[in-house]
Amino acid sequence: MLPEIHIGPLTLQTFGICFALGFLASGAVISRRFRELGYLPERAWEAIGAALIGGLIGARLDYLIQNASEMEGGIIANLFTGSGLVWFGGLIGGAIAVILWARWRKCLGDDLMGAVAVALAIGYSIGRVGCQLSGDGDYGVAWDGPWAMAYPDGAVPIDTPVHPTPIYETLVMGLVALGLWHLRNAVSGKALLAIYLVCAGLERLLVELIRRNDAVLLGLTQAQVIACVMILGGAAWLLWLVRNDGAGPVPDSVRAAV
């Protein structure tokens, strides 16, 4: 594990580095897609800036809400202190900020949705590298399998070998990002975003089976409840798009099946 990198008097957090790299990679993807579509590529960085601000606020608020009972002074008093970010909160906060930016720029349309879908997947994949390097507690349950790992020097140390779930998530969402990128000209941007919601929801639903989070509803963790909403919402949206010719050049056999 490598939670920190020391360069002379400077100390860098590896999670923060990967967090930044994830946003840079997402910006590069959106910029490339905008260039392909004939839009101003620099607008991509405006969108990323909005996502960064909204995502940080949302991720921090989500963490504080989940841990409010353990904090002195309540949520407001701890808003700008300490550490703690939750990805789902960041997703919601970032989405709200990008929607507001897109309405301001009058570009809230199909092309933006498709570009954002790929960016979300690649950003998440890189972000989980930071979780693995820092050992921030996002790992799985105890396991004695061939690639089980302990995190004795992590930010949340553990000596017992466990499932290295950040690695699983990096690999899966990296493949999802690659698949979405290859589909970018085959289906509409709305369909691409719907496919992302289904894939990201399935990934989180399954990985939570070997994570250490507590159940909150019907035996599901909070992340699994949100993942189910993503899967159902994405699947319903995709079905509606296919039936209403809004998913792009879908083969007739697929369209007939739904």
- In the chain, beta strands by DSSP E: 4-7, 10-13, 149-151, 158-162, 215-217, 220-221
* pLDDT at residue 254 in the model: 41
Mark 85-104 as b/e (b = at least 16 C-beta within 10 Å): bbbbbbbbbbbbbbeebbee
On whether the CB atoms of residues 163 and 137 are closer than 8 A, the answer is: no
The average confidence (pLDDT) of the chain is 85
104 versus 201: the higher-pLDDT residue is 201
* Structure confidence by residue, pLDDT tens digits, 24-54: 999 999 999 989 988 888 888 898 889 888 8
Parse the chain into domains and list their residue ranges.
4-39+107-257
The whole-model pTM stands at 0.85
* Structure confidence by residue, pLDDT tens digits, 207-249: 999 998 888 888 899 889 989 999 999 999 999 999 887 777 6
